[in-house]
Structure 1
């Protein structure tokens, strides 16, 4: 439209507004699509991380299960076969001949103990209950049947549990088991220290027991005379379905797992068992 000299009509404003609104709408739609895509990506990343973590947990649990199975089953028949014939120590008792008795045979109460000479919990039990057990066995009220196992060897590696058990069986041959048993627990190294794998160390500790350090004892220790018997004892432990050491059974009950148990309470139980016979 011509409005006269020097004056022209500007383009209709509604046209400019329409283009601007379309641009804004397009930008808004693009931003929204980008936001949606970002949210989708975040969700996908989250699911992927969850799957990775889940898979890692399963692998760790699976590895733990495998380690548990290996530890539970190691020290079995192969160990017994490789160690030679089974030679039980003098006076061994029980169905499998794996129990070393301490105390008078006609004692009316019996305590059954499964122990590992490398086991810290076993040492703790011995420190706490040793005076009471000695008192009751000396009085003829209690007999103890000790079973020796190699749980720590199987879990941490080494041969200290086996070698110490063999040496204790050699001490049984000499009639010195109880005294040497106590020396081994008093002198117990750290659980991770396989010091009892050294037969020279075991022979040196025998010097703490009067009359034990003899040529016969040394030969028995150095030759591993009772190694296969120790393996057989450990197999009996596994077959018994026990969970750990020490396992301390009195009248069929694992009293070590009883948090209310004390030496005084145990002594009362033994005395009551003697009265009831």
Structure 2
């Protein structure tokens, strides 16, 4: 507190400088504390978002192209679940019998797809490109080689990828893979929801495909008849050096490296291959 003389004839004035400065200093300190706290909150939020992105599928949409990357480590099924003989689905092709073919064998263009029925990016690819792929396979211009993997089971835990793949292989035994494949992606649960681990749900969805829900199909699904085959297919995915789903190759070339890829561009590529 400072004592200064006032105007002539007036009593001295008391000026509370010290208190004012302390109040100012207190306000500044409070602001600094608030700024530090906000910065901590921002850092924590960035870390939280990073963890969420790191554990999920990153989808990039560009000119109708869908580029999917699964940022998860590939895992193996529990040995007790995948033990047993490898039962290859009817009509499966390839040196290791892990290819499920769709389309005419003599089609001049080939699309190779590695996919996981729990993978959101795989569903996005199916939604964006499915109609075009169906059109080209029906016209005899394109054949598709499907490989089923269990990447999400390894990254997120659970058995939904494997059980759905086994059910799809059971559908292949009845010649109804393509139709059931479409149903599985159309009804795909959230990535974190392991709903496809429930065989009853997989059998329920089979009711959407004419003639698929039979005692033979139910037995195949419930027994996990093709579980070891699914594990073998996933092993082929790992040996191929692939790291994400879907991985899509056109005549051996990874078309996901082309960010300008669209269904129309794919159609043009197939038509060019058929001209040659």
Shared fold, TM over 0.5: yes
| Corresponding residue number in structure 2 for 1:75 | 76
How far apart are 1:81 and its partner, in Å?
8.2
Structure showing the higher helix proportion among its residues: 1
Q: Which has the larger radius of gyration?
A: 1
How far apart are 1:252 and its partner, in Å?
1.8
Measured in 2, the distance between the counterparts of 1:82 and 1:164 equals: 14
Is the CA contact 2:82–2:231 (under 8 Å) kept in the aligned structure 1?
A: no
Structure showing the higher strand proportion among its residues: 2
Is the CA contact 1:246–1:256 (under 8 Å) kept in the aligned structure 2?
A: no
Aligned ranges for residues 126-137 of structure 1 at < 5 Å?
126-137=126-137
CA change 1:86–1:210 in 2 (3 A) is same
CA change 1:81–1:207 in 2 (3 A) is closer
Aligned-residue Cα RMSD (Å) equals 1.8
| Corresponding residue number in structure 1 for 2:245 | 245
| Corresponding residue number in structure 2 for 1:217 | 217
When the two structures are superposed, what TM-score results if normalisation uses the length of structure 2? 0.72
Task: Kindly report structure 1 stretches of 4+ aligned residues shifted beyond 6 Å.
Answer: none
Is the CA contact 1:92–1:101 (under 8 Å) kept in the aligned structure 2?
A: yes
Measured in 2, the distance between the counterparts of 1:247 and 1:254 equals: 7
Unaligned runs of 5+ in 2: 1-53, 55-71
Aligned ranges for residues 1-277 of structure 1 at < 5 Å?
71-72=73-74, 74-75=75-76, 79=79, 82-276=82-276
CA change 1:257–1:186 in 2 (3 A) is farther
Measured in 2, the distance between the counterparts of 1:156 and 1:135 equals: 34
How far apart are 1:95 and its partner, in Å?
1.4
Indicate the SS of the match to 2:113.
Answer: strand
CA change 1:190–1:85 in 2 (3 A) is same
| Corresponding residue number in structure 1 for 2:58 | none
Which has the higher mean CA deviation after the structures are superposed, 247-256 or 154-163?
Answer: 247-256
How far apart are 1:71 and its partner, in Å?
3.1
CA change 1:257–1:124 in 2 (3 A) is farther
Measured in 2, the distance between the counterparts of 1:82 and 1:143 equals: 30
